[in-house]
Amino acid sequence: MDAAAREWVDRFLRHLRSERRVSDHTVSAYRQDLKALLAHCERRKFPSWGAVGNGEIRAFAAAQHAGGLAPRSIQRRLSAARTFFSYLQREGAGTQNPALEVRAPRGKKRLPGTLDTDQMARLLAFRVQDSLSVRDKAIMELFYSSGLRLSELVGLNMGDVDFADLTVRVLGKGAKGRIVPVGRYAIAALQAWLNERVKLRDIERTPQPALFLGRGGQRLTARAVQLRVSEWARRQGISMHVHPHMFRHSFATHLLESSGDLRGVQELLGHSDIGTTQIYTHLDFQHLAKVYDAAHPRARRRP
How confident is the prediction for the chain on average, in pLDDT?
86
Calpha distance 57→41 (Å, rounded): 9
Residues belonging to the active site: 149, 173, 245, 248, 271, 280
pTM more than 0.75: no
**173: alpha, beta or left, given left = phi > 0 and alpha = psi -120 to 50?**
beta
Least confidently predicted of 16-30, 86-100, 143-157, 267-281: 267-281
Q: What is the mean pLDDT of residues 251-269?
A: 82
Binned at pLDDT 50, 70 and 90, residue 201 comes out as: low
CB 153 within 8 A of CB 225: yes
Calpha distance 65→43 (Å, rounded): 17
CATH number of 117-293: 1.10.443.10
Q: Tell me which CATH homologous superfamily contains domain 3-90.
A: Tyrosine recombinase, N-terminal domain (1.10.150.130)
For residue 222, give the nearest of 121, 152, 280 by alpha carbon.
Answer: 152
Residues of the chain with CATH 1.10.150.130: 3-90
pLDDT at residue 212 in the model: 95
Q: What is the mean pLDDT of residues 268-282?
A: 73
Residues of the chain with CATH 1.10.443.10: 117-293
Give how far the C-alpha of residue 302 lies from the chain's centroid of Cα atoms, to the nearest Å. Answer: 38
